[in-house]
Chain A
């Protein structure tokens, strides 16, 4: 015997010019799938933040009577603010927006013009409740203002919240659909690769069958091969997506879209790990199914 025996060799061929190409293809698909997942998660997170902000705030537009002096504005708005406070209580933050700030708000539509004093602008009151507090009830507010003889409209931003929710849902559905498509592509690539590998290693399969290997034994060899291949490809792709997302979080002009705190980073890493496991699992299952079906077909032919 020539020295100690080397470790057990894999029965199937592990090298070949196609293997590296296949790993690159799988890495690209996993990279895209990981980005789709991160975008979906980001959209979901942002919509949640925005919705929370909107649902905790209400804007009241008060139709003011004739104003001859600055005191008139303050008197009418104080009355309206008092009426609001009777409904929302002391815990809510009620803020009267002053006249100059109201004018600033309409500047995007009319530009930097000096507005005439005679132009009647509505008075604005913003109400903000804490994150854990119940949002202000718009219907109750409206009826209280009417009861106090104040003409006002109450906007609880539900229209915007609904739109944001719809957009976020569409983004999440789109991202999930893209992710599923990429997984299907991964499965297809593995089916094709397994069939090719079986065709290329037909003589090895024949020897294995000759020495009594069951279909399950042979399938396990191909499943293991596909699993290792997918683990490498998906690992590279997911890691690359994670690095890109981390870089964007640090250097992007819109950092709120990316990671802004550690818990988001940890959560998304867990999701990415889940994606990696799912990718490897579906690719391995695809290889197992392809192998079993090919072996059954081969046996029927014999």
Chain B
């Protein structure tokens, strides 16, 4: 499959943000802390940056704060303290329209798939394009091609409740990448698929990355981490340990 180029950083295709120069940070966290209500801090003093075009893994034990950190990345949560910059803009200063424009540049795959049950696989995957104002005629071919590529060509008209866990996962990934996002965030994207499909999905992420998309994947899967020579952020007790290397630091696996 020939996947089209991801969004460029030209002003015309970048309604929410300024032009990013090569290697600039797509996302930057500065002393970020997060707490829910008056509870304890889930994340503390997080300093993190994702350079444009980078490929990173986020790993750590369950409950360490991986999902919360990802939610901060796609602006589903606001930090309790610190600053987050997305596509060169201070996230705290974005209004609703700008926030949503930023979100349209981010593809998200969540653990629970978040597919809409009464929409077919085709409709679910085309949702980001529909939201962006494209007509059915404009996106039908792209969606069809992508679904065939992820192995769901024969399930396009099926509804999520009838799909297996792996099929739902692939549909969620297809939805995340269909709009050719600048940043792709995935939370355990291969958790429900067999190794063969898992490798295929990882190849899709790698290809997206090769074309310029910045990718961040949260996973427990050491085999997946070892597949690529990528940066690894390890999160423990709400604090992040960065700069690890997938193959050198995780060659013998993590506990």
Q: Contact: A8 with B136, CB < 8 Å? A: yes
Q: Interface digits, B100-131 against A, CB 8 Å rule (1 contact, 0 not)? A: 11111100100000111011101100011011
Alpha-carbon distance between A302 and B36 when the two chains are bound, in angstroms: 9
Q: Interface digits, A32-54 against B, CB 8 Å rule (1 contact, 0 not)? A: 00000000000000000000000
Interface residues contributed by chain B, number (CB under 8 Å): 36
Alpha-carbon distance between A143 and B65 when the two chains are bound, in angstroms: 102
Alpha-carbon distance between A39 and B47 when the two chains are bound, in angstroms: 72
Alpha-carbon distance between A302 and B68 when the two chains are bound, in angstroms: 12
Tell me the residues in window 74-106 of chain B with beta carbons closer than 8 Å to chain A beta carbons. 74, 76-78, 96-97, 100-105
| A299 touches which of B96, B97, B128, B179 (Cβ 8 Å) | B96
Contact sample, A vs B, 26 pairs, CB 8 Å cutoff: A1-B144, A1-B156, A2-B154, A2-B156, A5-B140, A5-B157, A9-B118, A9-B119, A9-B120, A13-B118, A203-B116, A204-B116, A207-B115, A207-B127, A209-B100, A209-B103, A210-B74, A211-B131, A211-B179, A212-B102, A212-B131, A212-B132, A214-B96, A214-B97, A214-B100, A217-B131
Alpha-carbon distance between A277 and B179 when the two chains are bound, in angstroms: 39
**A213 in contact with B100 given A2-B154, A13-B118 (CB within 8 Å):** yes
Q: Which residues of B contact A11 (CB under 8 A)?
A: 116, 119, 127, 130
Q: Which residues of B contact A6 (CB under 8 A)?
A: 120, 157
Residue of A nearest to B106 (CB): A212
Interface residues contributed by chain A, number (CB under 8 Å): 23
Closest CB in chain B relative to A213 CB, distance in Å: 4
| A212 touches which of B100, B116, B122, B144 (Cβ 8 Å) | B100
Residue of A nearest to B119 (CB): A9
Is A208 an interface residue, CB under 8 A from the partner? yes
Is A206 an interface residue, CB under 8 A from the partner? yes
Is A155 an interface residue, CB under 8 A from the partner? no
Q: Contact: B144 with A215, CB < 8 Å? A: no
- Interchain residue pairs A-B with the least CB separation, the first 10: A212-B104, A212-B103, A211-B128, A213-B131, A214-B100, A212-B100, A9-B123, A207-B114, A211-B131, A211-B127
- A contact residues vs B (CB 8 Å cutoff): 1-2, 5-6, 8-9, 11, 13, 203-204, 206-215, 217, 299, 302
Q: Interface digits, B121-160 against A, CB 8 Å rule (1 contact, 0 not)? A: 0110001101110001000100010001000011011000
Alpha-carbon distance between A213 and B100 when the two chains are bound, in angstroms: 6
Residue of B nearest to A296 (CB): B96
Alpha-carbon distance between A210 and B108 when the two chains are bound, in angstroms: 8
| A5 touches which of B77, B103, B122 (Cβ 8 Å) | B122
| A210 touches which of B103, B130, B148 (Cβ 8 Å) | B103
Alpha-carbon distance between A44 and B154 when the two chains are bound, in angstroms: 66
Q: Which residues of B contact A9 (CB under 8 A)?
A: 118-120, 123
Alpha-carbon distance between A217 and B76 when the two chains are bound, in angstroms: 18
Closest CB in chain A relative to B7 CB, distance in Å: 12
Residue of A nearest to B122 (CB): A5
A sample of 18 more A-B contacts (CB under 8 A), given A5-B156, A207-B114, A211-B175, is: A1-B156, A2-B156, A2-B157, A5-B157, A6-B120, A9-B118, A11-B130, A203-B114, A206-B114, A207-B127, A208-B127, A209-B76, A209-B103, A211-B127, A211-B128, A212-B102, A214-B96, A214-B97
Residue of B nearest to A212 (CB): B104
| B131 touches which of A1, A203, A206, A208 (Cβ 8 Å) | A208
A-B contact count (CB 8 A): 73
Q: Contact: B123 with A8, CB < 8 Å? A: yes
**A215 in contact with B96 given A1-B144, A1-B153, A11-B116 (CB within 8 Å):** yes
Closest CB in chain B relative to A5 CB, distance in Å: 6
Alpha-carbon distance between A182 and B97 when the two chains are bound, in angstroms: 36
Q: Interface digits, B144-185 against A, CB 8 Å rule (1 contact, 0 not)? A: 100010000110110000000000000000010001000000
Q: Interface digits, B61-81 against A, CB 8 Å rule (1 contact, 0 not)? A: 000000000000010111000
Alpha-carbon distance between A8 and B76 when the two chains are bound, in angstroms: 28
Alpha-carbon distance between A177 and B3 when the two chains are bound, in angstroms: 62
Q: Which residues of A contact B105 (CB under 8 A)?
A: 212
Closest CB in chain A relative to B240 CB, distance in Å: 22
**A210 in contact with B114 given A8-B123, A9-B119, A11-B119 (CB within 8 Å):** yes
Q: Which residues of A contact B148 (CB under 8 A)?
A: 1
Alpha-carbon distance between A213 and B132 when the two chains are bound, in angstroms: 8
Q: Which residues of B contact A1 (CB under 8 A)?
A: 144, 148, 153-154, 156
Closest CB in chain A relative to B36 CB, distance in Å: 11
Q: Which residues of A contact B119 (CB under 8 A)?
A: 9, 11
Q: Which residues of B contact A206 (CB under 8 A)?
A: 114
